[in-house]
């Protein structure tokens, strides 16, 4: 309890699991000191392969990640799992049986499972996730799965930080497949069609292949489609193979993506810092309170108010 | 084509539908001039009843909103519909049949349907939605439905701007109901259990009621649960009744929520303005580019870089 967060960072580097958990809690609580710890860990990051996993609720993402984790453990890799999806069994949002299976997984010393319990108010989700990934990376995880439901803006931001995005689909999504074709599909590097023993699995694969072919004429990496049945571990080895193929591809093509990831990390940190700095100044400020009252009563419009505030806050070039 | 966006605002106030559509496009494209138009419209807002509609994909949110819209038309109310959910039929993400039914709806002069086609990069989703709502409010809509899938942070922000939140559930969600109980449930003011002719409907109602009772001991408004079958219009009248009851409740309890909504609008506008102002200064800036390179190569950590940048950007008290 008397350990500072900086010491915590040292303990994370030494491989202390409890320190990892405590630092993560500090990050989730948006404890400002957690930033110093992250800063200390940052030079030790960049080694993990970060796999974003997304797809509709009920597609079996968590079970599939669980099986992938076991497979990677057989290859003697250390595995990290971060669940951002509020309906994930990892976040306690599922049936007891699922949760017990997940607990089994996290009893393995080579696996670290963490769910995002909270949702920050100022875009905190994406930022916290970046930090959690960095902690697991510095801790020594070789591969980190980040599970998101993939529907919101924040989740899309999270996905941008992944080295590879695995999209988990399921036969018989009906209407929803159209939407996914149009939207989320374009971010999938590897497509798993899970629950492939269901009827219409073949048709789903064909539909996805068509959508991919329409979309990827100039792409260097054509997203492979792998049929899986997570509950019986079918197709999981194949999925690992594809993930590893993509890792090789990614390393060759890497520098552009590394730069983008650098910029995203900077922008996230910048937005957080700006919001905090500005909010600290505003909270309790009499003018700010009056502005809110006026906006609520429609006497002032929010854009005008924001412009006034920004003029007060931001240093101009002539300064 | 030669009309400025300011003139567009005037035309919106006169009730011109095409102007509404054009202004909305400008908002979605984050055209900076759209802000002037919104500012002009803002004093004319605050009259519409804003209904946030959320729930898992496939729960029939869109069909239900369609039926509610028809019901409100019978009461001679003008109806606005904004779909933020990417898998919504309103956004073109569904089967042709659904889309045709939606088009029928939007052929009615008293209904305005709009879907969010784009996702802004800097939290633009929530802000754009606020603006679209304001446009429809100023245009004269009496009731505005905002449909979201409710899974991401941005969607949660959107929901905060609603006067009432209708949660659409469906029997047989299995695991997912647990998650919804834990998370999304707490924001639902009215719960519709749609597709109530499915088996297990009664059990779903009971489970939801239990969850509500656990959660609402001190609440003044106990969320009612309404069984609906949207496709055959069953339960829709009852739902309208509950919405109107909530509107009365809301008007009594209103001022606190109005203030919160004012603050959210200001914060959204402030974040947007700050990001823009800062980004304009950073893009192409040599120091910024060097920082990104250093972050990508792990020589510099993002928080340190952000702190340096914020110090350069934000005016301190001593200025």
Of residues B120 and A7, the one with the higher pLDDT is A7
Assign A99 a pLDDT band (cuts: 50, 70, 90): low
Tokens of B12: 């919106």
Contact A146, A158 (CB under 8 A): yes
Alpha carbons B129 and B161: distance in angstroms, whole number: 9
CB-based contacts of B111, cutoff 8 Å, min separation 6: B69, B73, B78, B79, B80, B81, B105
A261, closest residue in chain B (CA to CA): B296
Q: pLDDT at position A228, please?
A: 97
User: What does the pLDDT look like over A200-209, one tens digit per residue?
Assistant: 899 888 888 8
Contact flag A151-B156 (C-beta cutoff 8 Å): no
Of A94, A124, A303, the CB nearest to B38: A303
- Which carries the bigger pLDDT value, residue B30 or residue A98? B30
Low-confidence ranges of chain B (pLDDT < 50): 1-2, 87, 91-97, 118-123, 151-154, 317-319
Determine whether the interchain pair A265/B302 forms a contact, defined as Cβ–Cβ distance below 8 Å.
yes
Closest CB to A123: pick one of B153, B261, B273: B153
Most confident of A76-80, A212-216, A309-313, B95-99: A76-80
**pLDDT tens-digit series, residues A12-32:** 999 999 999 999 988 877 787
**Whether the predicted pLDDT of A75 surpasses 60:** yes
Task: Tell me what pLDDT residue B210 has.
Answer: 79
- Binned at pLDDT 50, 70 and 90, residue A249 comes out as confident
Average pLDDT score over residue span A172-180: 56
CA distance B148 to B142: 20
pLDDT in tens, A115-152: 775 444 334 556 678 889 999 999 999 999 998 765 44
Find which of A306, A314, A318 to mutate to test the B interface (most B CBs within 10 Å of its CB).
A306
Among A266, A282, A298, A316, pick the best mutation site for testing chain B contact (most B Cβ within 10 A).
A266
Q: State CA A271 to chain mean position distance.
A: 18
A152, A314, B120 from A270: Cα distances, Å: 21, 14, 18
Residues 6+ apart with CB under 8 A from B117: B28, B91
- The rounded distance, in Å, linking the Cα atoms of A268 and A266 is 5
**Residue B59, helix vs strand vs coil:** coil
B310 closest CB neighbour out of A258, A277, A307:
A277
Given a cut of 90, is residue A104 above it in pLDDT? Answer: no
Taking a C-beta distance cutoff of 8 angstroms, is the pair A96, A128 a contact?
no
Say which residue the tokens 């400025």 belong to: B4
Residue B40: left if φ>0, alpha if ψ -120 to 50, beta else—which one? alpha
CA distance B10 to B233: 38
For residue B34, give the chain A residue with the closest CA.
A303
Q: For the whole model, what pTM was predicted?
A: 0.66
Q: How far apart are CA B191 and CA B208, in angstroms?
A: 9
Question: A305 and B95: CB-CB below 8 Å?
Answer: no
Reported as type and span, the H/E element at residue B115 is strand B111-115
Per the CB < 8 A criterion, the answer to whether B23 and B7 are in contact is no
How far CA B120 is from CA of A179, B41, B214, B245, in Å, comes to 18, 22, 38, 35
Residue of B49, B18, B210, B66 lying closest to B141 (CA atoms): B49
The predicted complex's ipTM stands at 0.71
CA-wise closest residue to B72 among B15, B136, B141 = B141
User: Do residue B302 and residue A42 have CB atoms under 8 angstroms apart?
Assistant: yes
Q: Which helix (H) or strand (E) holds A145?
A: strand A143-147
CB-CB neighbors (< 8 A) of B98 in chain A: 175
Report residue B290 as tokens: 């060097």
Dihedral, CA atoms, A270, B270, B125, B57, nearest 10 degrees?
Answer: 90
Q: Percent of chain B scored above 70 by pLDDT?
A: 76
Q: What's residue A176's pLDDT? A: 52
Taking residue B308's Cβ as centre, other Cβ atoms within 10 Å add up to 15
pLDDT for res A61: 86
Residues of B in contact with A301 (CB under 8 A): 38-39, 42-43
> Closest Cα partner for B59 from B198, B209, B159?
B198
* Closest Cα in chain B, distance from residue A146 (Å): 15
The CATH code belonging to domain B45-272 is 3.40.50.300
Q: How far is residue A272's CA from residue B51's CA, in Å, rounded to a whole number?
A: 30
Predicted pLDDT at B86: 52
Which residues from A are below 8 Å from B92, CB to CB? 182
The whole-number pLDDT of residue A51 equals 94
What's the fold here for domain A45-257? Rossmann fold (3.40.50)
- Sole residue written with tokens 């998370």: B183
Q: For residue A264, what pLDDT is reported?
A: 82
pLDDT tens figures, A31-44: 878 888 988 999 99
For residue A59, which of A84, A87, A93 has the smallest C-alpha distance?
A87
Q: Which residues contact B97 (CB under 8 A, 6 or more apart)?
A: none
B266/A292 Cβ within 8 A: yes
Distance between A155 CA and the closest CA of chain B, angstroms: 7
- How far is B278 from B257, CA to CA, in rounded Å? 31
Domain ranges of chain B: 1-40, 45-272, 284-319
Contact state of B176 with A58 under an 8 Å Cβ cutoff: yes
CB A147 within 8 A of CB A84: yes
Rounded to 5 degrees, φ, ψ at A318 are -70, -15
- Provide the 8-state DSSP code for A223: P
Q: Considering only CB atoms, which chain B residues are within 8 Å of A272?
A: 306
Picking from B243, B21, B71, B52, the residue whose alpha carbon sits closest to that of residue B147 is B52
Indicate which of A302, A304, A311, A312 best probes the interface with B, i.e. most B CBs within 10 Å of its own CB.
A302
Query: Residue A235: which region, alpha, beta or left (left: phi > 0; alpha: psi -120 to 50)?
Result: left
Sheet of strand B143-147, all strands in order from the earlier edge strand to the far edge:
B111-115, B79-83, B143-147, B49-54, B164-169, B190-193, B225-227
Structural tokens at position A89: 């069994």
Q: What is the pLDDT of residue B61?
A: 86
- Report, as an integer, the average pLDDT of A53-73: 87
Closest Cα in chain B to A316: B313
What is the DSSP code (8-state) at residue A297?
T
Report chain A's mean pLDDT, rounded to a whole number.
Answer: 80
Task: Report the pLDDT averaged over residues A174-179.
Answer: 53
Nearest to A151 among B86, B91, B123 (CB): B86
């Amino acid at each position: 309890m008397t350990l500072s967060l900086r010491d915590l960072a040292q303990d994370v580097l030494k491989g202390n699991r409890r320190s990892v958990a405590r630092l993560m809690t500090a990050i989730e609580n948006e404890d400002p000191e957690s930033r110093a710890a992250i800063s200390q860990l940052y030079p030790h990051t960049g080694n993990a392969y970060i796999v974003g996993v997304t797809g509709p609720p009920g597609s079996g993402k968590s079970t599939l990640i669980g099986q992938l984790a076991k497979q990677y453990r057989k290859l003697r890799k250390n595995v990290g799992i971060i669940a951002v999806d509020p309906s994930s069994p990892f976040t306690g949002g599922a049936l007891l049986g699922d949760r017990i299976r997940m607990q089994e997984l996290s009893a393995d010393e080579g696996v670290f499972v963490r769910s995002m319990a909270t949702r920050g108010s100022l875009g905190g989700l994406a930022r916290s996730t970046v930090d959690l990934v960095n902690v697991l990376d510095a801790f020594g995880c070789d591969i980190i799965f980040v599970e998101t439901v993939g529907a919101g803006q924040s989740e899309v931001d999270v996905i941008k930080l992944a080295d590879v995005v695995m999209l988990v689909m399921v036969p018989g999504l009906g209407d929803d497949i159209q939407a996914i074709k149009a939207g989320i599909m374009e971010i999938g590097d590897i497509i798993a069609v899970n629950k492939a023993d269901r009827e219409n699995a073949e048709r789903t694969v064909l539909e996805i292949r068509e959508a991919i072919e329409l979309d990827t004429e100039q792409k260097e990496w054509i997203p492979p489609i792998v049929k899986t049945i997570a509950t019986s571990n079918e197709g999981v080895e194949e999925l690992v193979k594809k993930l590893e193929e993509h890792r090789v591809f990614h390393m060759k093509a890497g520098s552009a993506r590394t730069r983008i990831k650098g910029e995203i990390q900077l922008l996230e940190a910048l937005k957080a810092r700006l919001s905090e700095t500005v909010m600290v100044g505003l909270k309790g400020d009499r003018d700010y309170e009056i502005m809110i009252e006026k906006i609520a009563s429609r006497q002032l419009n929010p854009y005008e108010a924001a412009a006034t505030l920004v003029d007060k806050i931001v240093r101009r070039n002539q300064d």
